[in-house]
Amino acid sequence: MRQRTTLLRFVLSATLVIVGLPGARLFAADTSHSRSRTSPDLIQSGRDKRVSVIVQFNSSPATIIDLILNTLGARVTRRLNAINMRALDLPLGAVAALASLKQVRFVSPDRQIASFGHVETTTGTADARVQTTTTLGGLITTSTTYDGSGVTIAFVDSGIDAAHVAFRNQLGLSRVILSRDFTGENRVDDVYGHGTHVASIAAGNDQISDGAFTGIAPNAKLINLRVLDSQGSGATSNVLAALDWVLANHDLYNIRVVNLSIGTPAIDSYFDDPLCQAVRRLTDAGIVVVAAAGNNGKDQNGTKIFGQIHSPGNEPSAVTVGASNSFGTDARSDDSITTYSSRGPTRSFMVDDGGMRHYDNLLKPDVVAPGNKIIGAAASGNSLLATHPELDAGVSSDDTRRMMYLSGSSMSAPIIAGAAALLVQANPNLTPSLIKAILMFTAQPLPGANTFEQGAGEINVEGALRLATMVRSDLSASTPLGAPLLTGPPPVPQTITTGQTFVWAGGIVCNHAYAAGDELITRYQKVYAPGYILADGISETPEGQFPDTSKLTAGVLLGLNAVVSDGGSIAEGSPFMNLSLLLGAGLLLPDGIMVGDGIMVGDGIMVGDGIMVGDTAANAVNGDDTTCMR
């Protein structure tokens, strides 16, 4: 959906002096920091103006903070205790004083959030859903159905129509086990229509059209966390409140996967962005967080652009998902990247005290999945379908069975969320980092697409599930580096599905490099331990990047170039850009695209930092082609 974004720049210069307050030393102004603690898109347009902000604290804020906030004229709109944040409304002139407090980590705007908007067969899920195991010398054969049973996926979106047949279990009961509203509208249904569609892609059942539109994990339980209102928009604080709730309640409901088919322009570095920080907290708690990359891969003229990955997709620990186009066929031989899917590198940045910008420049997305004209459940009376009746898939006139199609990375993300649920069901001991590594290692690199467009490649559920079932179930933080990772011989690194054989990527993307080698799946890497992310295995200096031998085994090698894939493994193809350039402040890509303070495309069009282009309703409605996937 279209977002209205204005690039706002503001240099704050104020000092807070607190006299006579208990704990004043704790909250005295801190002048020692070497980077800005306020987001660059806060602007001073008069000291009487009030703004909504997100405040991150270094630790759980003490009671005295409420008195100090009151002194500043601030009003707390949300207390996000599990993630050590507050949503505030306060005078703009008080922002600098707030940011100067020692316990305050970062202050950013409460930005607006918007949605980005046959999978079972084309992703290889159908080939892997039922697996058989023979034991005792061939005397006993057992079969297991992988459908997400026992796993709960939380959907942070516009709501879920829990009455839709797609979400029923075999007894006819809804698998939506809990719904919460964070919009203030005091309703949990899906007036807009985005969230229901997204949830059905991940976890829709086979009870409609003889299973033609079955989701990836059709027996998973769902939690509905509504953060987008009836018009499909919401604030960052809505999402933070939902993630805060997940962190506080994930054990109670066995929430192992969170899907975020929503986003906002990535302006602040992931180190400061409150959404990214919340995602990292969830990942550290053992939850796989899947984020849509965004739909800004082209400008208004249809020209390819780079550097438009959205937040929280710019967070290293998130599984960031771009959109591929399957052109309505089950075969993967014709799949390609959609024109609208947001490309890397991430262009969020940190500002130091000298005003210098330091860009994240992360390799993103991590993987891609089909996202063009995907059929999914239609919420009863939803506004997307009412506004665009051509989206009706013509499956049924019954509101509880109606299906519609949408396009976007919003539709790609839940495919990965469903796949993650299958991996958790197969091996509940898998950590988020190991799940992310498996999804990338087994992906299929698509020919003609570069690393900034597809990451490791297109999701391959068959390979990922086959590998996950072979990973030892007794891994722990104390497992030594280099210990055997699998219970038996390594699998053949290729997949046969829909009559096509393709090789696996054989590697993983991580921050400013990619790592490759069989040891990623044959030996235990310390980056798979709880609390780690994959990029923790790489040391970076001004001279380059090197494997951290305390976290990665010697057989794991780093690649030197982002490549335009030839359809082989992650390292095969023509060089696109030397990855060492990602360590700099600006980038010059070989096809004439300049990524500096803005994005300069070949025809001279400049897109400034933070300005969103091409993210229109047409992306979600029309997609790349004119043929509805059925």
The catalytic residues are 157, 194, 410
C-alpha distances out from residue 526 to 166, 387, 435, 436, 537, Å: 40, 50, 14, 14, 8
Lateral strand order in the sheet of 85-91 = 75-80, 85-91, 50-57, 104-109
- Dmax (CA) for the chain in angstroms is 80
- Contact yes or no for 366/315 (Cβ under 8 A): no
Instruction: Label residues 471-495 b or e (16+ Cβ within 10 Å = b).
Output: beeebeeebeebeebbeeeebebeb
H-run or E-run covering 226: strand 221-226
Within 13 Å of residue 188, how many CA atoms lie on the same side as its CB?
Answer: 14
Cβ-based neighbour number of residue 630 at 10 Å = 15
Name the token pair of 243. Answer: 């993630």
Cβ-based neighbour number of residue 304 at 10 Å = 15
Single out the residue of 265, 246, 264, 266 nearest to residue 255, CA to CA. 246
* Alpha helix segments (H runs only) across 372-428: 383-387, 409-426
Distance CA 355, CA 421 (A): 43
Distance CA 578, CA 590 (A): 10
Lateral strand order in the sheet of 310-311 = 233-235, 112-115, 262-265, 310-311
Name the token pair of 439. Answer: 């999804």
What are the residues whose beta carbons fall under 8 Å from the beta carbon of 394, sequence distance 6 or more?
A: none
- Contact yes or no for 240/55 (Cβ under 8 A): no
- Contact yes or no for 176/357 (Cβ under 8 A): no
The alpha carbon dihedral of 312, 314, 315, 318 has a sign of positive
Single out the residue of 165, 115, 114 nearest to residue 380, CA to CA. 165
The SS3 of residue 122 is: helix
The SS3 of residue 586 is: coil
The SS3 of residue 320 is: strand
